[in-house]
Amino acid sequence: MTVDAKTHPLNSLGFAKSPADTRVVVAMSGGVDSSVVAAQLAEEGYDVVGVTLQLYDHGAALAKKGACCAGRDIHDARRVAQEMGFPHYVLDYENIFKDAVIDEFADSYLAGATPVPCIRCNERVKFKDLLATAKDLEADCMATGHYIQRKMGENGAELHSAADANRDQSYFLFSTTQEQLDYLRFPLGHLPSKAETRALAAKFGLPVADKPDSQDICFVPDGNYAAIIEKLRPGAAEPGDIVDVDGNVLGQHKGVLHYTVGQRRGLGIGGLADPLYVVKLDVEAKHVIVGPKEMLATRVVPVREINWLGDEDLTSRKEWHVMVKVRSTRPPRDAIIRPISATEAEVELVVPEEGVSPGQACVFYDPDSSRIFGGGWIWKGN
């Protein structure tokens, strides 16, 4: 049945009905961002249902404030729901999370890649299984606390960078599909700064108003990737040689998993005239290969598993002139996408970049606006 938008003007979530008749599932991590989203929508009169995912049981992390989705965070999300007066559910997704995110993280790290598990979590857990749960609850949409914008264009919903470039999370959300984007809402994306979010949390009297931001990967709360991988894959930290590009042995290492491409410090091979960097990891030979900084520069980046969000098909043109990010911490740079198929392309960086690593994402941006055209996964170095 079509609703007359003149009789029922669109509400703040874009539906032609009253907030009270609009059910929205809010993905609540227990942090300040998602708590503010839930509280604001509840105050506006929406039929809010809060859902928190229990993704892992991490022992000490259960009491660590900086760790996402652990015991303390579940408690914080529940308190916010109680104070704002809407239902809250905790879903046990530990097995799903392990199969879809943690195992691949460990395996790709051991294969010499530099994985970004937060992207896989959004893609395979939050925006897949949780989104399906939201639909099972007959919600009109699902809202999250991500800093990214959803705008309506001529051809439907578009993904755009957050108003606050310092908080923008587009790099971690490039794999959001058009179908998912139609259902998702990001109420914080337009805010000019995180200070605005905290001010809203204080206004609503939320117990998490001063809670610190999570900095680490949620299942690696102390940032020690190697310790987690050794636990998941016993024997992974086997020692081997540090070699130069000609195969000359320069030293020994305690396991390839302790190194990443671009690393300079901690190699234990001092006394050389020029500094050396990790330029490649050879897992099978147990070699950490080092070389001069210029060897890190990459111009051509092979990308696969592309999620394309443009209005035209990716393969409708031989070349796309865009901006791309090859690391979450770097600004977008000029590039040319040359499609190979609907899901694979060669990306040429106009200015070569250092430290382009397999396992990282390559995210596409419109050079003339804040729009995101999707992205893909870097799968082998030059």
Domains and CATH numbers, the chain: 19-145+187-203 (3.40.50.620), 237-291 (2.30.30.280), 297-378 (2.40.30.10)
pLDDT of residue 214: 76
Q: Across the 382 residues of the chain, what is the mean pLDDT of every consecutive 10-residue run? A: 62 96 96 96 98 74 46 90 95 90 87 84 90 96 97 96 95 96 97 95 93 79 79 83 94 88 84 84 89 92 97 97 94 97 98 89 97 94 46
Nearest CA to 119 out of 348, 382, 325, 338 is that of 325
Using alpha carbons, list the distances in angstroms from residue 102 to 48, 126, 180.
30, 14, 23
Spatial separation of the C-alpha atoms in residues 64 and 75, rounded to whole Å: 12
Distance CA(245)–CA(199), nearest Å, equals 53
User: Buried b vs exposed e over 306-318: b needs ≥16 C-beta within 10 Å?
Assistant: bbbbbeeebeeee
- In the prediction, which pLDDT does 72 show? 84
* Helix (H) and strand (E) counts in the chain: 9, 17
Summarize the chain as % helix, strand, coil (round to 5). Answer: 30, 25, 45
- The confidence score (pLDDT) of residue 170 equals 96
Which residue's structure tokens are 């937060």? Answer: 118
What's the pLDDT at 175? 96
Catalytic residues: 121, 218
Count of CB atoms within 10 A of residue 163's CB? 18
What does the pLDDT read at residue 7? 67
Burial class of residue 239 in the structure, from the number of CB atoms within 10 Å of its CB (0-12 exposed, 13-18 middle, 19+ buried): exposed
Q: How buried is 270 (Cβ within 10 angstroms: 0-12 exposed, 13-18 middle, 19+ buried)?
A: exposed
pLDDT on residue 265: 86
β-strand partners of 339: 345
Return the beta strands (E) in the chain as ranges.
23-27, 47-54, 88-92, 141-143, 148-153, 156-161, 184-185, 240-244, 249-253, 277-282, 287-291, 297-308, 320-325, 333-339, 345-354, 361-365, 372-378
Q: How is the beta sheet containing 277-282 ordered, strand by strand?
A: 249-253, 240-244, 287-291, 277-282
Q: Which helix (H) or strand (E) holds 131?
A: helix 131-136
Query: Which of 29, 20, 87, 84 is closest to 54 using CA atoms?
Result: 29
pLDDT at 60: 39
For residue 115, the model assigns a pLDDT of 83
**Spatial separation of the C-alpha atoms in residues 381 and 193, rounded to whole Å:** 36
The Cα 364–Cα 321 span in angstroms is 10
Sheet harboring 88-92: ordered strands across? 88-92, 47-54, 23-27, 141-143, 184-185
Question: For the stretch 10-47, what's the b/e string if a residue is b when 16 or more beta carbons lie within 10 angstroms of its beta carbon?
Answer: ebebebeeebeebbbbbbbbbbbbbbbbbbbbbebebb
Residue 377 CB coordination number (10 Å): 23
